[in-house]
Chains A and B, each alone.
Chain A
């Protein structure tokens, strides 16, 4: 079945530094979604990527979908304390089963 791995598992950065998390799949993905979960909260949808090589930006967040549609990344420029949380990728297909990646936990030193 479809499996995704996220790296790194944890990232601890100084406020103002950049952060990147990667999501790698063993199979070609139809598309992929990204979610953020604040400590003690529930996951919240960030974005969906559909096209090969697609790049989308949301303020300081940049999302990319690989050319082969087997990997994706989320990059945060100049992190802020509000970015703290765990970031999950989730491959999405026309089927209803949605499995999440293992997540990358971001912590920030003020």
Chain B
């Protein structure tokens, strides 16, 4: 059972470079999320997608774009990376309408911007 798969697991960028973090889930979940976690800090919501075809801003959306490609995939793009975007990025998904609605997280993508 793959669950939530994120790629890449590690990435080093130079300031100004662009990149896309990929996320895919195989649980037929409706909602998907991107969070960032700075060292020793909590989880901050960047963007989320309540259902296929919709995306909404979270707490810290500046400097990021997202695409809900289909029900399975939700990508996060950094158009011009900055050192302040050095972080661990977590993708998560959940089944809406379910009583529990728990989030299932990927393993994380560790991004360093030099």
Query: Which residues of A approach B to under 8 Å, CB–CB?
Result: 33, 35, 42-45, 48, 86, 88, 90, 92, 96-103, 105
Contact = CB atoms under 8 A, between A and B. Distances in A.
A45 B102 CA distance: 6
Interface string B82-109: 0000000010100010001111111110
A100 B102 contact: no
Interface string B36-74: 000011111100101000001011000000000000000
Given A98-B45, A100-B43, A42 B105 contact: yes
Interface of B: 31, 33, 35, 40-45, 48, 50, 56, 58-59, 90, 92, 96, 100-108
A33 B43 CA distance: 14
Nearest to A97: B48
Given A88-B42, A98-B45, A43 B101 contact: no
Given A42-B107, A88-B43, A103-B42, A96 B50 contact: yes
Nearest to A92: B101
